[in-house]
Amino acid sequence: MKKYFTLLLVIIPLFILSSNDLPETRETGTWTGYVYNTETLEPVYQSTVYLAPHFPNGPGEYYTAWTDETGYFEFVNIEAANYDVRLTKWFYYDLNTSKIVDEGENTIDDFFLQKATGCNYTFYFIPDDYYYESTWSLYNEDEMYWYNGAPIGFNSDDSVREFLYLEPGNWTLVMYDSYGDGGLLCRCSDESGTIIFEDSCEGSLYEVPFFVPDSFGDFCDLPLPYLNVNDPALINECHGRQEIWYEFYLDNSYSDLTVSLLNSNFDTMLEVWADCDDAGYLAFNDNWQDQVEQSQIVFDNLSQGTYYAKIYSSDYEISGYYELEITGNLAQNYGDVDNNGIVEAFDASNVLQYVVQLDPVAVPLPWDEITLMRANVDGNEFIGAYDASLILQFVAGVIDIFPVELPLRNNEPVADVVVTFVDNELVFTAAGSLYGFSAEISTNIETPETDMRFAVNGNKIALASADEINGEFLRITVDVKKVTIYMVINNASEHLTLTSAPALTVLEGNYPNPFNPTTSITYAIAEDEDVNIQIFNVKGQLVTTLVNEHQAAGTYSLVWNADGQASGVYFFKMMSGRYTSTKKMILMK
């Protein structure tokens, strides 16, 4: 009974003490800080800050805090003492230091964590007291090899974090403890921080299979993004068998484009691809140069598009850092007027619109010096429809190089254009080797009838063809009877003034009739023809020939003076091509 009574006397005071608030007698302080990335100086989000008792004379409590989006953490009203500080975050190397927290407010501290780049898994091992007997290893079931070639033993009794790159596929973690007491713990997480598994060796041997999925950078169709051409070098890390793919996009064509690996501490291998399949392979280089500049590939000219750089080590056992840099100069790219990396018919269309001076809003191009240079593919002093024709010929495969790129340019083809004016239509007919044509007409024109690629703006028209233009190629309707035309035929210019031609060839008659002694004879010819007009008497005898020549299409009027002829009936006859007509007139004195 005495025994139980004594025990009760001990329990009751403890219960009383634990059920009442004890006075706060210890000194407390508030400590805050920020955690940053060593390389980028960006805040590290959700890193963990541990405060552990610093022995000897450390406090008896442990504290934990987490950083917010700004990297900020705080400890409020913690025991003022000397602490061991540990900052940790998945895929960052741990930082261990010490800190004395004084009573009250403390100065804000900055801490920097180094990110483990080029890794996709971390393994966190915690050994027991017999750590020197513990080993771990990873085996690739698909390719049948051990990570780093052999099992890895511990060289410390502290926990160890390993940053590894594992190829996608099936793996097995193998842990071994010779004592068989299960004293080896492993926690595995992927690059997102998600824990894949966490377990300990419960005997001498522990094996756990797991699958590594594809991740960015592993394959051509899952590349890492590269910054813009001519930006500062991109720094990263390569591990063992790892192949790292980068994607870079050229928004313009470049000359002397150089893909370089710089300042690596291992023998780097470099490849450049235009696509993920074998046909997309472009180049390879492995120039080991005194550990300063390694692999480098130079392209004389690389057009606009998406490309891939592949980086890997020359030895599966070698890992290290590298710098990837891509530099280049904008190429001149003759014919690629809109600078989209492709010479196409649309470029010819842009040239034609430039020739007829369309509003810049309709041609979304900066017609600056570079653009004009790309459009001037014949290399002369101005941009004309003939340049558009050459672009079309290049697109169609008629030519494979522009005249401007040839040491000695070929002579321009010789051509001629005949224009006839019939009623309210201008008819253009080509002779010779016509490819490009433009015209400025003294009146506004309607939409023309043509099979060629053309552009119209007010009283200006330009057209081009990849094939030689023959025969009638253009009809333009106008609303006047007389026009002036400024033409550029290929690259030769010509001025014309034309009067409307009649629709039919016809002998109109004479006026006055009867007459004494003069009369006017009016006639029209629809096409350029040889014209013959003669006067006959009533006996059918030739009196005179008024016209006997080749005349252009049009309406004509001539005067016959019959002075010296006897009064009577006369006939005038017109012959033009297949047209023949005879009319009667009377001379009355």
Alpha carbon 415 to chain centroid, angstroms: 40
Confidence class for position 6, pLDDT limits 50, 70, 90: very low
Lowest mean pLDDT among 24-38, 103-117, 413-427: 413-427
Q: Inform me whether the pLDDT recorded for 130 exceeds 80.
A: no
Q: Inform me whether the pLDDT recorded for 307 exceeds 50.
A: yes
Task: Give the pLDDT confidence of 263-283 residue by residue, as tens digits.
Answer: 877 788 899 999 998 989 999
Q: Inform me whether the pLDDT recorded for 552 exceeds 90.
A: no
Lowest mean pLDDT among 16-25, 219-228, 511-520, 532-541: 16-25
Confidence class for position 23, pLDDT limits 50, 70, 90: very low
Rounded to whole angstroms, the Cα distance separating 127 from 174 reads: 14
What is the helix (H) or strand (E) element at residue 372, kind and residue range? helix 369-375
In sequence order, the β-bridge partners of residue 175 are 136, 206
Instruction: Give me the DSSP letters along 375-429.
Output: H-TT-SSS--HHHHHHHHHHHHTS-SS-GGGSSSPPPPPPEEEEEEEETTEEEEE
Orientation of helix 385-396 relative to helix 345-355, angle to 10°: 180
Phi-psi region of 370 (alpha: psi -120 to 50; beta: other; left: phi over 0): alpha
Confidence class for position 215, pLDDT limits 50, 70, 90: confident
One-letter amino acid of 522 = T
Identify the pLDDT of residue 386.
95
Across the chain, what does the average pLDDT equal?
84
**Average pLDDT of span 440-448:** 84
Q: What is each CA distance from 182 to 12, 162, 204, 207, 265, in whole angstroms?
A: 42, 20, 7, 12, 39
Show the tokens assigned to 213: 């999925």
Show the tokens assigned to 519: 């009369």
Rounded to whole angstroms, the Cα distance separating 5 from 171 reads: 63
Identify the pLDDT of residue 408.
67
Architecture of domain 335-500: Orthogonal Bundle (1.10)
**Average pLDDT of span 184-206:** 86
Lowest mean pLDDT among 18-27, 69-78, 490-499, 517-526: 18-27
Q: Inform me whether the pLDDT recorded for 7 exceeds 60.
A: no
CATH class in words for 224-330 = mainly beta
Q: Inform me whether the pLDDT recorded for 245 exceeds 90.
A: yes
Report the CATH superfamily, name and number, of domain 28-113.
Carboxypeptidase-like, regulatory domain (2.60.40.1120)
**Average pLDDT of span 405-416:** 76
Rounded to whole angstroms, the Cα distance separating 246 from 225 reads: 6
Identify the pLDDT of residue 141.
95
Q: What is each CA distance from 67 to 88, 165, 329, in whole angstroms?
A: 11, 27, 44
Confidence class for position 587, pLDDT limits 50, 70, 90: very high
Identify the pLDDT of residue 24.
54
Give me the percent of the chain exceeding a pLDDT of 70. 92
**Cβ neighbours of residue 436 under 8 Å, at least 6 residues apart?**
384, 385, 386, 387, 388, 389, 390, 462, 463, 464, 465, 488, 490, 491
User: Could you tell me which CATH number the domain at 506-587 has?
Assistant: 2.60.40.3080
Show the tokens assigned to 135: 């080993």
Confidence class for position 409, pLDDT limits 50, 70, 90: low
**Average pLDDT of span 193-215:** 87
Identify the pLDDT of residue 14.
40
**Cβ neighbours of residue 580 under 8 Å, at least 6 residues apart?**
573, 574
E strand spans, 490-541: 492-499, 506-511, 518-525, 529-537
Rounded to whole angstroms, the Cα distance separating 408 from 80 reads: 87
Choose among 313, 306, 328: nearest CA to 260: 328
Which one is predicted more confidently, 177 or 343? 343
Q: Is 286:269 a contact under the CB 8 Å cutoff?
A: yes
**Torsion, Cα of 278, 228, 293, 224 (10° steps):** -50
**Average pLDDT of span 557-565:** 88
Confidence class for position 360, pLDDT limits 50, 70, 90: low
Rounded to whole angstroms, the Cα distance separating 40 from 112 reads: 10
Identify the pLDDT of residue 364.
57
Identify the pLDDT of residue 25.
66
Confidence class for position 18, pLDDT limits 50, 70, 90: very low
**Average pLDDT of span 155-182:** 84
Show the tokens assigned to 154: 């511990």
**Average pLDDT of span 72-94:** 92
Q: Is 365:352 a contact under the CB 8 Å cutoff?
A: no
